[in-house]
C-alpha cells in the first residue's frame, strides 16, 4: 500500500488559492495547509476483494437470470445488453407544444441505456484484466458509439466502480446512455472549448495536454498516444484526466494504434488506483467527446475523466458538502502532490505482487 507522504514545507506554507477550470468555467479552492489536519470523521467500509470467478447470485454473470427474467448468454468477452431499468426510453415524443411557464419548464427526451459487462469474470475489473481483454472493451466502446451516434445527439460511456460511487452490482461493468439532448456537463465543456478555440485557434485540451507533457509536474502516465494527468484544476483528491496526444474529437475517430495504447494506459491508471490503498479503488469514469450532430467541432478533444472519492486511506473519502455544496469545490491535497503519489505507485497490481511472492 502506498504511504502518503507529508506535504513539504513549501506546500505547507503556501497560501490558499483558487484555480480556474477552463473546461467548464468553474473554480476550485486549494488549501494545502489543511492536508495534515487530524481526521475523526466517518470512514467507509473497505471493499473486500472478490475471489470467485462466477457468482450464481449475480445478475450479470454468464448464464444467470437477470431481475427482468432475461437469461445472460454464456458470453466469453465483453457483453452488452439493454438496461433492464433504463433512465431513458426510445420512441416518439408527444405533440405537446403548449407555451410553458418559465418557472416550471419541462422538456421531453428520448434515448437508450445499455450495460457493458467487461468480461465473464466476476472478480476482475480493468485493473486485473489482461491487455487483450481491455482492448476488446475499447473496441466495443468504439462500435457502440458509432452505432448510437447515428441516432442520438450524445453518447455517454461511463463506469461507476464500487458501492461508494453508487454501483449497484459488483460484477465489473460500465454503462452507455445515449440521448437526443446534450447533457449539462457536456454542454458546458462544449461552450468553453468553443470560446477558447475562437480566441486561440487551437483546441483547448490538445494545447493543455502538450503543456502538461512539457511541465510533467502533474503527469502520472504517458505513452505514444495518450497522457494521464491529475488536472491543474482537479476537484477530487486523486482525480485524473486521460487525453490523446494527437487531437481526436470522438471515440469513433481512434485508430487501432491509439486504441491499443488507450487500453494500456487504462490498465495502468486503474492498477495504480488499486495499489494506492491496497483495495478495489472506487471511482466514476466517463468519456466526453464532441456532440454527434453533423457539424464542425474543431474545438473538441476526446477525453476521459476519473473521479475517485478516496482521500487518506481505503476507508476515508472526500465528501462534497458544506462549502463545496454552498460555495465552490475545495481540496486540501494539491494536484501536484496527488500526481507525484500516483506516479510513484506501482503498475503491478498488489494482488499480482502477492502471487509472485507466494
Active site residues: 173
**Among 212, 198, 223, residue whose Cα is nearest residue 296:** 198
Contact present, 28 and 330 (Cβ < 8 Å) = yes
Chain centroid to CA 68: how far?
28
Contact present, 89 and 110 (Cβ < 8 Å) = yes
In angstroms, what CA-CA distances link 201 with 70, 196, 208, 327? 51, 8, 13, 33
**Among 226, 204, 214, 232, residue whose Cα is nearest residue 304:** 226
**Among 107, 205, 125, 197, residue whose Cα is nearest residue 161:** 125
Maximum alpha-carbon separation in the chain:
70
Per the listing, cell 431499468 goes with 85
CB atoms within 10 A of CB 290: 23
Radius of gyration of the chain (CA): 21
Cβ within 8 Å of residue 7, ≥6 positions away? 32, 35, 36, 333, 334, 337
Directed axis angle between helix 204-215 and helix 184-200, to 10°?
80
* Rounded distance between C-alpha atoms, residue 233 and residue 189, angstroms: 14
Amino acid at each position: 500500500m502506498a504511504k502518503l507522504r507529508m506535504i513539504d514545507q513549501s506546500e505547507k506554507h503556501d497560501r490558499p488559492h483558487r484555480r480556474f477550470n477552463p473546461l467548464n468555467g468553474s473554480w476550485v479552492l486549494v488549501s494545502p495547509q489543511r492536508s495534515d489536519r487530524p481526521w475523526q470523521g466517518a470512514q467507509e467500509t473497505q471493499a473486500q476483494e472478490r475471489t470467485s470467478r462466477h457468482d450464481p447470485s449475480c445478475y450479470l454473470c454468464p448464464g444467470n437470470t437477470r431481475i427482468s427474467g432475461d437469461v445472460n448468454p454464456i458470453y466469453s468477452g465483453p457483453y452488452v445488453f439493454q438496461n433492464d431499468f433504463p433512465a431513458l426510453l426510445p420512441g416518439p415524443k408527444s405533440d405537446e407544444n403548449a407555451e410553458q411557464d418559465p418557472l416550471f419548464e419541462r422538456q421531453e427526451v428520448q434515448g437508450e441505456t445499455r450495460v457493458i459487462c467487461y468480461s465473464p469474470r466476476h472478480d476482475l475489473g480493468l485493473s486485473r484484466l489482461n491487455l487483450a481483454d481491455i482492448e476488446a472493451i475499447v473496441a466495443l466502446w468504439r462500435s457502440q458509439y458509432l452505432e448510437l451516434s447515428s441516432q442520438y445527439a450524445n453518447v455517454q460511456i461511463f463506469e461507476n466502480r464500487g458501492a461508494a460511487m453508487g454501483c449497484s452490482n459488483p460484477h465489473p461493468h460500465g454503462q452507455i446512455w445515449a440521448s437526443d439532448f446534450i447533457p449539462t456537463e457536456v454542454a458546458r465543456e462544449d461552450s468553453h472549448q468553443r470560446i477558447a478555440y475562437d480566441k486561440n485557434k487551437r483546441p483547448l485540451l490538445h494545447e493543455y495536454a502538450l503543456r502538461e507533457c512539457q511541465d510533467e509536474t502533474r503527469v502520472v502516465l504517458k505513452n505514444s498516444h495518450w497522457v494521464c494527468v491529475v488536472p491543474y484544476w482537479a476537484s477530487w483528491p486523486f482525480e485524473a484526466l486521460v487525453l490523446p496526444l494527437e487531437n481526436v474529437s470522438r471515440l469513433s475517430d481512434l485508430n487501432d494504434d491509439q486504441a491499443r495504447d488507450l487500453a494500456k494506459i487504462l490498465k495502468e491508471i486503474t492498477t495504480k488506483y488499486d495499489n494506492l490503498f491496497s483495495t478495489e479503488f472506487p471511482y466514476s469514469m466517463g468519456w466526453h467527446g464532441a456532440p454527434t450532430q453533423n457539424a464542425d467541432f474543431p474545438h473538441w478533444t476526446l477525453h476521459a475523466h476519473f473521479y475517485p472519492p478516496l482521500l487518506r486511506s481505503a476507508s476515508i473519502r472526500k465528501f462534497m458538502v458544506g462549502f463545496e455544496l454552498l460555495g465552490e469545490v475545495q481540496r486540501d491535497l494539491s494536484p501536484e502532490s496527488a500526481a507525484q503519489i500516483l506516479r510513484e505507485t506501482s503498475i503491478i497490481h498488489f494482488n499480482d505482487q502477492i502471487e509472485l511472492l507466494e
